[in-house]
Amino acid sequence: MAAAFLGSSVEAVEAMTIVLAAGIVRGWRSALAGTAAGLLTLAAIIAVFGPAIAAVPIEYLQIVVGTLLLLFGIRWLRKAILRSAGVIALRDEAALYVEETRALTDLHGAARRWDAVAMLTAYKAIVLEGVEVVIIVIGVGAVGNMLVPASIGALAACGLVVIAGMLLHRPLARVPENALKYVVGVMMTAFGLFWFGEGVGIEWPYADAALLGLMGVLFVGSTIGVRLARSVRGMQSKLAEVRS
């Protein structure tokens, strides 16, 4: 539940930022219509692929889901390490909101009552981020017969983000998204390793408790990676100063 909640929070914040920009700049009627269409598309995807997932042999499901989680987790963890080390800039939802509103303002002039730009922008944001939420829920819940807790965690995260967006009416810049991505990256990578290992026949010591050990190893390894990246960045800065 915690893994699904944190992972879904990240995706929900990103989707909310785009929908808010589309609604405020281009018109709420069109933005909400695009959001509704995106949610219906996600519901159709779940309805179609849900029964199919249940019919897949558990070993194959573990391998496929483990691979997907590894790809998600490693991508997020890599970016979190580089951001923590100062190699790439921290993600700023407020700045991204400003950039998105500027792009929407410049696109096709003023908004109309029904605006295709707002609808497509909101639709794309909901579907793309929503598909990632679905994969996270399946990844942390399907293979361990924990779909209900994972789904509750994801729905709670999305609900809280939506409520916060409606009340604040601005991007959720205060949500520690970069820290969340670090934690989620560690958790997703650990789940991916665990399920992939089970799928290929590895018997983990202490059963599910091995997940905690994997998370600990990944956290320590990523912390070392942050320090190494900072050291390399510092050396590069000194060399640049010497050359100049």
In the numeric block, which tokens belong to residue 53?
């997932």
Residue 218: predicted pLDDT = 93
- The residues near 26 (Cβ < 8 Å, ≥ 6 apart) are 104, 111, 115, 117, 118, 121
Report how far residue 187's alpha carbon sits from residue 209's, in angstroms, rounded to the nearest whole number.
Answer: 13
Residue 217: predicted pLDDT = 94
Residue 100: predicted pLDDT = 67
Report how far residue 33's alpha carbon sits from residue 151's, in angstroms, rounded to the nearest whole number.
Answer: 24
Report how far residue 214's alpha carbon sits from residue 190's, in angstroms, rounded to the nearest whole number.
Answer: 5
pTM of the model: 0.66
Overall number of domains in the chain: 1
Per-residue pLDDT tens digits of the chain, which is 244 residues long: 887 888 888 888 888 888 887 787 777 888 889 999 999 998 888 887 766 666 677 777 778 878 888 888 888 888 888 888 887 776 666 666 667 667 666 655 545 567 787 788 889 889 988 888 888 887 777 666 677 888 888 899 888 888 877 776 666 655 666 777 788 888 888 888 988 888 888 888 887 788 889 999 999 999 999 888 888 877 877 777 777 6
Residue 175 belongs to what domain range? 2-243
Question: What end-to-end distance do the CA atoms of the chain give, in Å?
Answer: 52
Report how far residue 65's alpha carbon sits from residue 74's, in angstroms, rounded to the nearest whole number.
Answer: 14
C-beta of residue 184 within 8 angstroms of C-beta of residue 6:
yes
Residue 92: predicted pLDDT = 62
